[in-house]
Every structure is written in C-alpha cells, then in structure tokens.
C-alpha cells in the first residue's frame, strides 16, 4: 500500500550534551511556553539545541559561547562532530541550534530571516547569554549576518560559511525542484528505514541529480506512527517562504563586528568580485577559501574548516584573509 508523505509536527526538545552525558529537556520546561513576544509582531519559537560544555566541576569558561546555525534543510546534528571538537579546542560552550521548521524545533507558518533572528535573540535571552560568537552555514549564515547588523551588541564575532549577503547562487534555482521531489515521494507502510531511504532515494533521483545532495535531504526522513515515514522538516512552510529566504534583506547599515567568510572553492555562493561590496556591510570582513570544498564545507573539508574557525575565534589577528 503506497502512502504519500505528510509533514511531521516536531516537539520542541532541548538536548544538552555535557561531555559524555546527555540530558533531554522539553522546551516547555526550559522557559515560558512555546513562543514569546519580543517587539513588533514577531513571536519567536523555543529553539531546540544541543550544548557542549566541560563536565569538570572546577572549570568555568570566561569566554563568550559559540552559537551554530545550520543551513536550509539541515539540522543541528549536521554540526555534532564539529561542535564537540570546537569545544575541546576553544574551551568555549557551544550551542548547535535547530532553526524553526527544522530538526526538533517547532513548526510555524511564518519563516523569514527576521523570524530566525528573533528566535536566536529569544534563545540568548532564555539562556542569559549577553554576547556570543555566531557560526552560520548558508541560511544560518544569513541569519547570523542579519543578527549582527540589527543587534551588533549581541555579537562578538561572525563566521559565515559559504554564503554571501550580496549575490544569489544559481544553485538556489534548483531548490523548488527539490521541494517538488520531496513532496512527490511515496513509500510503503511497515518497511525498515534502510529500505524506505532506498525507495525515497530512487524517487528523488528524478528531481535531485547529485547523490550527495539526496543523501543530505534523506537525513530528514523519520519514522512516524502506524508504520509510516514523514519528513522531519516543515516542507510546506519552507517551500511557501522560500522566496523570502533566497535573498538577503535590505538593511542599509553596516556592522563593525569581526567577520570571517569561509567559502568552498567549488562553490559559487561567495564570489571574489563581491568582496568589496561585502566589506561595505562588514568593514572588518576577512575571506578564506578552502580548496576542494563545495557548498557543504563542513562535510567536504571538516578539518580545514575547523582549523580556520578555531584560529579566528581564539584570535582574530591570526587570519590574514584572501582579497
């Protein structure tokens, strides 16, 4: 019996990972409800997150924490290994978050960069974080940039991974096709996850040519009740709001926060001809390109990215940057 995918309503869970100990706490227990109002008409959601910190009783970090946000169709799990190592290398507390409509964070009808920024600001307020370094990939990078432009007092440093506030990569034009493919997938009931992923992969191949991209998309395939499978992301909302996410908002201000743009050499998301215009928005911007990496730099060249990020976070002056 064939069934069509439906969107899954993810419960907003908070995962705190401390050394080898993991504790899961519901978002309802970590604050006052699923959403709180913070100015204008935006209602931020309670973001799911994983935190990485020392379990040594005597250890108290004096540095600002690091908040990591994934890209479109991703989740905090994409940054699990990187977060652990980054914590060990910097001794900073690391928070890897799920954006709304992704991972374990709540699903909403609204999704713009303003919403993502207010979600991050609400998280910082709930956790009593006065300032943080932000690492953002793709969509998460644009959310981090807008955060810095609107609330520079909350941002210590920025690490923007393979995304620009200026240009739109031609690759983004394929995303609606990806959404169409995901919505068209049909699976049988009561089959193992491995078989479900194989079937979904075969059906997605007509819409998503690259095998690696399909495997990334399939990380969102989760088991549901009644022997069914569902997409973990809120696919309807993401597809409906995609035009708002494809372009960076017009802000009209600049931000002096130390900023590092890291691009993959095989990606066209950050173009060298745009560096000058980017610096008008981020005067302290520096640029690094990692050879052999595509858009998913953290998956293609994790070691190289880790070294660059660690050096920048620990000491801005160690990065000379490429112009």
**What pLDDT, in 10s, does the model give residues 238-297?**
999 999 999 999 998 999 999 999 999 999 999 999 999 999 999 999 999 999 999 999
Return d(Cα 306, Cα 250) in angstroms, integer.
Answer: 31
Q: What was the pLDDT predicted at 106?
A: 97
pLDDT band at 237 (very low <50, low <70, confident <90, very high): very high
* 109 closest CA partner among 43, 48, 189, 17: 43
Q: Which of 87, 102, 275, 295 is catalytic?
A: 295
Return d(Cα 114, Cα 111) in angstroms, integer.
Answer: 8
- The answer to whether 94 and 19 are in contact (CB under 8 A) is no
Burial class (CB in 10 A: 0-12, 13-18, 19+), 93: buried
Backbone angles phi, psi at 260, to 5 degrees: -120, 120
More confident residue, 322 or 300: 300
Find the farthest-apart pair of alpha carbons in the chain and give their distance in angstroms, rounded: 61
Backbone angles phi, psi at 72, to 5 degrees: -60, 135
For 57, the token pair is: 């009783």
* 95 closest CA partner among 62, 68, 135, 118: 68
Contacts of residue 167, defined as CB under 8 A and 6 or more positions apart, other chains included, come to 269, 271, 274
- The answer to whether 246 and 139 are in contact (CB under 8 A) is no
- The answer to whether 265 and 273 are in contact (CB under 8 A) is no
What Å distances lie between residue 68 and 65, 75, 83, 203, 240, CA to CA? Answer: 10, 10, 8, 32, 25
pLDDT band at 311 (very low <50, low <70, confident <90, very high): very high
Contacts of residue 144, defined as CB under 8 A and 6 or more positions apart, other chains included, come to 69, 120, 134, 135, 136, 155, 158, 160
Query: Where are the domain boundaries for CATH 3.40.50.1820 in the chain?
Result: 13-170+250-318
The reply to whether 236 belongs to the active site is: yes
Q: CATH for 13-170+250-318, among 3.60.110.10, 3.40.50.10490, 3.40.50.300, 3.40.50.1820?
A: 3.40.50.1820
- Give the strand pairing for 229-231 and 66-69: unpaired
Mean local confidence (pLDDT), 69-92: 95
The reply to whether 162 belongs to the active site is: no
User: 97-128 pLDDT, tens per residue?
Assistant: 999 999 999 999 999 999 999 999 999 999 99
The reply to whether 107 belongs to the active site is: no
- For residues 247, 131, 79, 90, the Cα torsion angle rounded to the nearest 10 degrees is 140
Q: Which of 51, 75, 83, 138 is catalytic?
A: 138
CA angle 35, 135, 25 (to 5 degrees): 40
* 86 closest CA partner among 312, 268, 321, 247: 312
pLDDT band at 318 (very low <50, low <70, confident <90, very high): very low
Q: Which of 201, 236, 268, 311 is catalytic?
A: 236
Mean local confidence (pLDDT), 129-151: 98
Share of the chain above pLDDT 90, in %: 77
**What is the pTM (predicted TM-score) of this model?**
0.86
CA angle 74, 76, 80 (to 5 degrees): 120
């Amino acid at each position: 019996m064939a069934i069509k995918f439906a969107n899954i309503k993810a419960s907003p869970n908070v995962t705190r990972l401390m050394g080898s100990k993991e504790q899961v706490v519901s978002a309802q227990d970590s604050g006052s409800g699923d959403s709180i109002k913070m100015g204008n008409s935006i209602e931020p959601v309670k973001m799911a997150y994983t935190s990485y910190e020392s379990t040594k009783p005597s250890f108290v970090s004096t540095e600002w924490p690091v908040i990591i946000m994934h890209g479109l169709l991703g989740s905090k799990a994409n940054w699990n290994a990187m977060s652990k190592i980054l914590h060990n290398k910097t001794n900073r507390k690391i928070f890897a978050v799920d954006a709304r409509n992704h991972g374990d964070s709540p699903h909403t009808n609204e999704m713009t960069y303003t919403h993502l920024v207010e979600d991050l600001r609400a998280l910082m307020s709930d956790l009593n974080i006065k300032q943080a370094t932000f690492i953002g990939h793709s969509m998460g990078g644009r959310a981090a940039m807008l955060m810095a432009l609107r609330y520079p007092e909350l941002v210590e440093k920025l690490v923007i991974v393979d995304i620009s506030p200026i240009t739109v990569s031609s690759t983004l034009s394929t995303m609606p096709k990806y959404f169409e493919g995901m919505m068209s997938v049909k699976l049988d009931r009561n089959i193992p996850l491995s078989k479900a992923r194989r079937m979904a992969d075969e059906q997605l191949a007509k819409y998503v040519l690259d095998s690696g991209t399909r495997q990334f998309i399939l990380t969102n395939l989760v088991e549901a009740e009644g022997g069914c499978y569902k997409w973990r992301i809120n696919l309807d909302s993401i597809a409906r709001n995609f035009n708002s996410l494809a372009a960076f908002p017009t802000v009209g201000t600049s931000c002096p926060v130390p900023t590092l743009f890291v691009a993959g050499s095989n990606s066209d998301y950050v173009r060298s001809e745009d560096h000058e215009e980017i610096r008008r928005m981020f005067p302290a911007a520096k640029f690094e390109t990692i050879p052999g990496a595509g858009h998913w730099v953290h998956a293609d060249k994790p070691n190289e990215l880790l070294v660059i990020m660690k050096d920048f976070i620990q000491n801005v002056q160690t990065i000379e940057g490429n112009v």
